[in-house]
Amino acid sequence: MSDTAQIEIPQGPAIKAKLGKDDWIMRSFIGIIVIYLIIALAFPLYAMLSKAFSTFHYDLTQFEFQVSNEEGKFDGSIFSASRLNDEVSAYAPEELVTGSGGRLAATKFFPDYSFRSPVLYKVRGTSDDAVFVVGSERKVGTEWREADSNLFRKVVFLPVKSSGFGNFTRYFSTPSLVRSIQNSLVISAVSTIITVTLAFGFAYSLNRSCMRFKGIFRLIAMIPILVPSLLPGIALVYLFGNQGILKAVMMGESIYGPYGIIAGSVFFTFPHAMLIITTALAISDARLYEAAVSLRASRWKTFWTVTIPGARYGLISAAFVVFNLVITDFGLPKVIGGQFNMLAVDIYKQVIGQQNFEMGAVVSVVLLVPAMLAFTMDRMVQRKQVALLSARSVVYEPKPNNRFDWGCLAYCSLVAVFILGILGICQYAALIKFWPYDLSLSLKNYAFDLMDGGGWAAYRNSIKLALLTAFFGTIVVFIGAYMVEKTQGFKVGRGIFQFLAMLPMAIPGMVLGLAYIFFFNNPANPLYFIYGTMAILVLCTVTHFYTVSHLTAVTALKQMDNEFESVASSLKQPFYKLFARVTVPVCLPAILDISIYLFVNAMTTVSAVVFLYSTNTALASIAVLNMDDAGDIAPAAAMGMMIFYTNVVARLVHTAVSRGVLQRTQKWRAR
Amino acid sequence: MSSAEIDQSTFLEIDGVWKAFGDFFALKDIGLEVHEGEFVCFLGPSGCGKTTLLRAIAGLDLQTRGSIKQAGKDISNLPAAERDFGIVFQSYALFPNLTIEKNIAFGLENTGVAKAAINSRVAELLELVGLPDQGKKYPAQLSGGQQQRIALARAIATEPGLLLLDEPLSALDAKVRVSLRHEIKELQRKLGVTTVMVTHDQEEGLSMADRIVVMNHGVIEQIGTPIEVYRDPSSLFVADFIGEMNKIRARGTDKKDRVKIGKKEVTCLPHEFAKDETVIAAIRPEDIIPHGKGARSPGARDTIANPENCLEVVISDMEFLGSYWNAILKGSELDGGELHANFSMNAVRRMDLEVGKKIEVELSANRLKVFATAQEPDG
């Protein structure tokens, strides 16, 4: 009313809620999970970023020498290392830039140095933070240290640390490294186009035709999820490699390089794209098609004016997801990339091959940019798709059309042959005595204990990791999602949590693994003790696959009536009673889905854990990588297939358990 | 139950309550008292703040300013679990995986009540809401109306001092809604529990509540019994929102009980408007009385109370609504506007009313209320 509209809200603070017991418990839980994510994600990433921006150089003005005569007498004259360098040009300026592990030999400042000479040397720093090593002793400060010629060999200077863009400047002035950016972008783009096109055809056949065997095709399309991404690489080597059965098809081109990477990428990203597009096609409104028919639009025209626009968000989303998977994948280009460098492999090469951690961090930052972009775009598009979902629509029912249905069947069969062929060749190769010379069957490739890579222990470790990840991950993820969905107020805590929960999806596995090295492999860190144990592998894997699990849990929780909590509190029942008696039982299908997702991914993941495993915690997927690296390709294929069979068993168990649990606890679903 | 029978002790006291969402105020300086055992209804269009107020009373969404006292105790900032109320939502909010019995028993567990006592209480409640044999079923196996009754049973199981109903009938079919609103009212009377219900359906409010709180844009427009609110609306908004109302553009005269419609001065309820001030004269369709041959039952005299309030009109359309006819009237004295009038079946038959017929109608002077034009609701 006009006369009350002018009244002003009274001054003073807003009413503050008195927090009940439930509020305190829930907030503590959010706090704990936020701390978990900060330790498992934010701190390591910060450590990595600061590493990328840490530069090291030798400051020669920090060091001074005295040199004796042949009798071992010093005349008191002092030479600065920088002056000596100017005189004898021992080190070029670019040689003075180094990494954290850099060491500079002192002998080079003295061209006439000989380790047999009786000359004595004295060395000291000019400031308190100058550091050098004499023999195996680390020396700091301005006190003179004496060394005979023999010991002087072992006098080295340590670099000083400063921060800046130096590493990036070096990165971008190294052509071999920069070329990887272009390589990665091109490979990812090409793979994306191929995969999305193929997956669209497949999803379209499943959704819009009346072809037979839809269920089987759907199962086959999901197979690549169950194997490590490097397995198609191994299969391609057997098919098109130097001794491949179909080498002739390559017409002189090598499979090692872009062709192999693209073919393998299409294989392992196919199910992801197919799932997203299927969802998008499934929500299309049948009424639009009825309208198109009534307007006498041709099938072709309907396809372009109704089908494609309706599925556009799904297509775009699938494209970004595939792009992200390919650009961040490490296993496949490592196995089949040959000399063709990709960003994810560069990180590995810099860190493991050259021990250049700063450069590894720089490549990680470079890789983060496209990954973050693709992730952000995907989130934006998905939000729009959700808006479409909520609209009321009528489900499209395809009508039989002989020619079309047979076409779809032929197409899907082709894709199925590709997928099954990749797996089949791996299994075949694993059972062959000595490819391609002795094709008799044997189990010798399964004698993993006779090879490098960890043996059967690695396989057992993988199962252990997968079980632990599924168990702890599901608990953490589901409780976290519940707290963030159902807590009142506490906006700051929930905001931080939500951001951190979405972040892992944007972080490539290689980057996360490297970040873990920087953060946990530091004796000053109170959590140093978990470095090299199974615990850090579990922590890293849960974090790596946090986002999708979190979203699954949130989706399930959003379907629960928001007023359940209100009713429970009005009945003076604690939230944890509601949680245990209603929320968990109702969400059990989603909870089981999360655990199988975590299990399967823990079995197949390579990228994050490749930096973190130790001899005691070698994993099956890493063993595939290492055996392949060592030339034991058949055992690598055998181990890869072991992962596949394990995941198949896990899925079967999951299905059986889900059915059983559903029958026992979800009676209420039946009307 | 008429308001006279109600125990007048104040049970719920709401004072100076504001609710801010950023710059937007969903509640502005709300003050209200609810008596013990009373059935109060918050009525208003969507977005008027009625649900916000209910949630503040429940402690589910705290108000920004102001105090709420229940049974003499200041509960302004208490969490829901420390307040004393039972609540029923539009969505029923029954736990889908628990049987009906377990749903009702949910609030009784862990309160030191013996299992046998819980079971007999559950049976008693099922009896009370008329679903004695349904205890073993799951919510999805019941109809909407049955589910809402179970939700009600669950809410009153712990014998709360206050029962809150948030649009409890809105998700139900029209038929079920009418029967359930009767049952809820009956149950409330039997238990004597103080009840606050939120609804946007004026019929629900009129038929169930002892007192209605009409709300709009975060303020209370009027508080009163259903009859007061209907008969004597304090603003054009209330008049318009509850029941049907004819609004006629008019002007003030020098007499405070007269108003000018077109060129005609008619008698109305006393008002405070100045001469020639533009106003709205409002009258309900049932207060437009037809005159002429056959207008009254045979034998009754067709008296005109205020001849100056009579208008010559033409019936431009007629709509049959079952128990009466809604006639749309036009006339030169109406300034181009039109009136809706409700004529009984009998009157229509006796007077032989049909579209195009010219008749004389009287605007009942003691029902013709004048409002300022500025009060016209902007929604």
**pLDDT tens across B44-62, in order?**
999 899 999 999 999 999 9
> Quick check: B79 and A23 CB within 8 A?
yes
> Quick check: A572 and B158 CB within 8 A?
yes
Give the pLDDT band of residue A436 (cuts 50, 70, 90).
Answer: confident
Write out the residues of chain A at the interface with chain B, using a CB-CB cutoff of 8 A: 1-2, 4-5, 7, 9-10, 12, 14-23, 488, 561, 563-564, 566-574, 577-578, 581-582, 585-586, 665-671
Tens of pLDDT along B58-104?
Answer: 999 999 999 999 999 999 999 999 999 999 999 999 999 899 999 99
Of the candidates B29, B80, B217, which has its C-beta nearest A566's C-beta?
Answer: B80
The mean per-residue pLDDT over the stretch A541-546 comes to: 95
The mean per-residue pLDDT over the stretch A471-490 comes to: 89
Pick the more confident residue, B1 or B31: B31
Residues of A in contact with B20 (CB under 8 A): 9, 14
Contact predicate A462/A618, CB 8 Å = no
Contact predicate B369/B243, CB 8 Å = no
The mean per-residue pLDDT over the stretch B261-283 comes to: 91
Tens of pLDDT along B210-235?
Answer: 999 999 999 999 999 999 999 999 99
pLDDT at B374: 62
pLDDT at A449: 82
Interface test with A, best of B14, B55, B76, B97 (most A CBs within 10 A): B97
Q: Is the pTM of this model over 0.95?
A: no
- Rounded to a whole number, what is the distance in Å from the CA of A592 to chain B's nearest CA? 17
Burial (CB count within 10 angstroms: exposed 0-12, middle 13-18, buried 19+), residue A199: buried
- What is the distance, to the nearest Å, from the Cα of residue A294 to the centroid of all Cα atoms in its chain? 49
Q: What b/e sequence results for A102-127 when a residue is b if at least 16 CB atoms lie within 10 Å of its CB, and e otherwise?
A: bebebbebbeebeeeeebbbbbbbbe
Mean pLDDT, rounded, of chain B: 90
Q: For residue B108, what is the nearest residue in chain A, using CA coordinates?
A: A571
| CA dist., res. A547 & res. A504, Å (int) | 6
pLDDT at A174: 86
Q: What are the structure tokens assigned to A10, written together?
A: 């009274």
**CATH topology for the A22-53+453-669 domain:** MetI-like fold (1.10.3720)
| Position A421 pLDDT exceeds 90 | yes
The mean per-residue pLDDT over the stretch A312-334 comes to: 91
pLDDT at A455: 86
pLDDT at A323: 94
Q: Give the Cβ contact number of residue A649 at 10 Å.
A: 10
Q: What are the structure tokens assigned to A324, written together?
A: 């992200």
Helices of type H across chain B: 50-58, 100-105, 115-128, 144-156, 174-191, 202-208, 226-231, 236-241, 345-351
| CA dist., res. B267 & res. B284, Å (int) | 15
**Domain B3-241 CATH superfamily:** P-loop containing nucleotide triphosphate hydrolases (3.40.50.300)
Domain with CATH 1.10.3720.10 in chain A: 22-53+453-669, 183-442
Tens of pLDDT along A194-224?
Answer: 999 999 999 999 988 899 899 999 999 999 9
> Quick check: A22 and B79 CB within 8 A?
yes
| Position B1 pLDDT exceeds 50 | no
Tens of pLDDT along B315-367?
Answer: 999 999 888 999 999 988 887 788 999 999 988 999 999 999 999 999 999 99
Domain with CATH 3.40.50.300 in chain B: 3-241
Contact predicate A497/A37, CB 8 Å = yes
Nearest residue to A425 (alpha-carbon basis) of A261, A255, A236, A259: A236
pLDDT at A1: 42
- Rounded to a whole number, what is the distance in Å from the CA of B344 to chain A's nearest CA? 36
Q: What are the structure tokens assigned to B200, written together?
A: 């946007």
pLDDT at A667: 66
Q: What b/e sequence results for A352-377 when a residue is b if at least 16 CB atoms lie within 10 Å of its CB, and e otherwise?
A: eeeebbbbbbbbbbbbbebbbebbeb
- Rounded to a whole number, what is the distance in Å from the CA of B375 to chain A's nearest CA? 7
Pick the more confident residue, A269 or A282: A269
Residues of B in contact with A667 (CB under 8 A): 138
Interface test with A, best of B106, B147, B163, B234 (most A CBs within 10 A): B106
- Rounded to a whole number, what is the distance in Å from the CA of B7 to chain A's nearest CA? 25
Q: What is the CATH number of domain A183-442?
A: 1.10.3720.10
Nearest residue to B283 (alpha-carbon basis) of B262, B313, B314, B261: B261
Which among A541-545, A666-670, B259-263 has the top mean pLDDT?
Answer: A541-545
φ/ψ of residue B261, rounded to 5: -110, 115
- Rounded to a whole number, what is the distance in Å from the CA of A2 to chain B's nearest CA? 7
Q: What are the structure tokens assigned to A571, written together?
A: 């009945």
Place of tokens 């009060």: B375
Burial (CB count within 10 angstroms: exposed 0-12, middle 13-18, buried 19+), residue B342: middle
Contact predicate B210/B188, CB 8 Å = no
| CA dist., res. B217 & res. B46, Å (int) | 9
Nearest residue to A338 (alpha-carbon basis) of A263, A233, A434, A429: A233
> Quick check: B107 and A564 CB within 8 A?
no
| Position A89 pLDDT exceeds 70 | yes
Of the candidates B29, B62, B160, which has its C-beta nearest A7's C-beta?
Answer: B29
Radius of gyration of chain B (CA): 25
CATH of B246-375, one of 3.30.70.20, 3.40.50.1950, 2.40.50.100, 3.40.50.300: 2.40.50.100
Distances (CA, A) of A514 to A354, A391, A462, A540: 14, 44, 20, 11
| Position A669 pLDDT exceeds 90 | no
pLDDT at A396: 77
Tens of pLDDT along A327-385?
Answer: 999 999 999 998 899 999 999 998 888 888 888 999 999 999 988 888 888 888 877 76
Contact predicate B152/B187, CB 8 Å = yes
Give the pLDDT band of residue A665 (cuts 50, 70, 90).
Answer: low
Contact predicate B281/B290, CB 8 Å = no
Give the pLDDT band of residue A47 (cuts 50, 70, 90).
Answer: very high
pLDDT at B377: 46
Contacts (Cβ under 8 Å, ≥6 apart) of A630:
A451, A452, A453
Contact predicate B56/B77, CB 8 Å = no
Contacts (Cβ under 8 Å, ≥6 apart) of A80:
A60, A61, A63, A64, A126
Q: Give the Cβ contact number of residue B338 at 10 Å.
A: 14
Mean pLDDT, rounded, of chain A: 88
> Quick check: B64 and A671 CB within 8 A?
no
